Amino acid sequence: MSILASLTPPKGLRVLITAGAGGIGQAIARGFAEAGARVHISDVDAAAVDAVTGGQITGSVADAADEAATETLFLQAREVLGGLDVVVANAGVAGPTAGIGNIGAAEWDECLEINLRGAYLAARFAAPEMVASKGSFIAISSVAGRLPYGFRTPYAASKWGVVGLAKSLAAELGPEGVRSNAILPGIVRGPRIEKVISARAAQLGLSFEQMREQYLAKVSLRRMVEPEDIAAMCLFLASPGGANVSGQALSVCGNVETL
């Protein structure tokens, strides 16, 4: 196989993506479908799932933080696809923007439940499938999983946890031929970051544009990441060229220097 050919995932991969109906998840789903994979997505929004599915993409409605719903999701995906080669744990929420003294326990728990428990549940139910296919588990973390992030503590805590989960899974299942990695997106263009910037701007009494410029000033390339950039990294990790990449926290962020 040529080096160039090794950078493309083999056709026919069976891929499950949590929260695959919008944003980064949808870009990942479409990327794998373009590469000839059969893709099953989940999302809590039934209408969003219906809008994305069709052709090589099928879907289920499921809450990533719900144990029974996630188990059912994996059963459905296995039935539809006949097994799994790649699982992308993508589900996540931004959580509150506030000082630690003003973050309620319910807000903290909700962020950790979706971001970290959701990734754990995906890993738990993916493990038998990954071992059977010597597959690839990909957890979507954040640059907040490698940098301190004041006023976003539950989000940062959850994303550091996702990195620990992915690295530990690599050590645990590596002898079975399973690869596990975390991708750390930076400031990804889309509605979620707009809400985060707006919330922080309101907190500091700044305009949205002023806050946006402050965010981008911390990025070496001074630009946002596109959802397709994250999809491209997922495709690489699922390709023959990524066969020896495991246990890594891979930033796709334009080099965020600080948060």
Q: How far is CA 160 from CA 81, 120, 121, 139, in A?
A: 31, 13, 16, 11
Q: Backbone dihedral region of 19: left (phi > 0), alpha (psi from -120 to 50 degrees) or beta?
A: left
The residues that are catalytic are 155
Coil, helix or strand at residue 124: helix
| Inter-residue contact 172 to 162 (CB < 8 Å) | no
The CA angle 149-152-155, to the nearest 5 degrees, is: 95
CA distance 151 to 46: 32
